[in-house]
Amino acid sequence: MAKKTKKQQSAGTPATVALTAAGTAFTVHAYEHDPAHPSYGEEAAEAMGVSPDRVFKTLVADVDGRLTVAVVPVAGQLDLKALAAAVGGKRAAMADPALAERTTGYVRGGISPLGQRKSLPTVIDASARQHPTICVSAGRRGLEVELAPGDLVALTGAVLAPVGRA
């Protein structure tokens, strides 16, 4: 995977700053965000020409009163029961979007699993292991980072579990 160019370095977000500080290899992909597009993740996959099973969306859920991050392919959905089980919880529901934004420091559609304001428990769908690299939000709409799934797991302290469904 190529290192960032000087132009890519100017697109600094807390996510890219965290990746750089960790010395992790990654590639930044920028595209023109269309506010009218119905799905942020599908828009990213289309714009980058990447299969939707390699582009992962970051969702914030409430598991037994504790915010938890789920990273699942944009082509599918989050299985809330599986997410709760993956972190030893009983019940999960999607978090209030305003609370998710305040807690992570990112806006909806641009929430990255990296460089969040507050470190949250993170679960990455096990399908990420099937790819040499995956793409996740770099911290704003229209900006993605591509990195090895193992690096994402290491940097977020995540667990891999089957939390996505078609």
Say if residue 11's pLDDT is above 80. no
Give the Cα separation of 119 and 54 in Å (integer).
24
What backbone torsions phi and psi does residue 122 show, to the nearest 5 degrees? Answer: -130, 135
Give the Cα separation of 78 and 50 in Å (integer).
20
How many other C-beta atoms lie within 10 A of the C-beta of residue 129?
A: 12
At 157, is the pLDDT very low, low, confident or very high (cuts 50, 70, 90)? very high
Q: What is the reported pLDDT for 37?
A: 84
Q: What is the reported pLDDT for 5?
A: 40
**pLDDT higher at 89 or 45:** 89
Q: What is the reported pLDDT for 8?
A: 40
pLDDT in tens, 76-116: 999 999 999 999 999 999 999 999 999 999 999 899 999 99
Average pLDDT value for the chain: 91
pLDDT in tens, 103-149: 999 999 899 999 999 999 999 999 999 999 999 999 999 999 999 99
How many other C-beta atoms lie within 10 A of the C-beta of residue 52?
A: 17
Q: What is the reported pLDDT for 82?
A: 98
- Please state, in angstroms and as integers, the Cα–Cα distance from residue 16 to each residue in 24, 65, 87, 95, 138, following that order: 10, 29, 27, 25, 6
pLDDT > 70: percent of the chain: 93
Say if residue 9's pLDDT is above 60. no
- Please state, in angstroms and as integers, the Cα–Cα distance from residue 10 to each residue in 4, 5, 28, 45, following that order: 10, 9, 11, 23
**pLDDT higher at 8 or 67:** 67
At 61, is the pLDDT very low, low, confident or very high (cuts 50, 70, 90)? very high
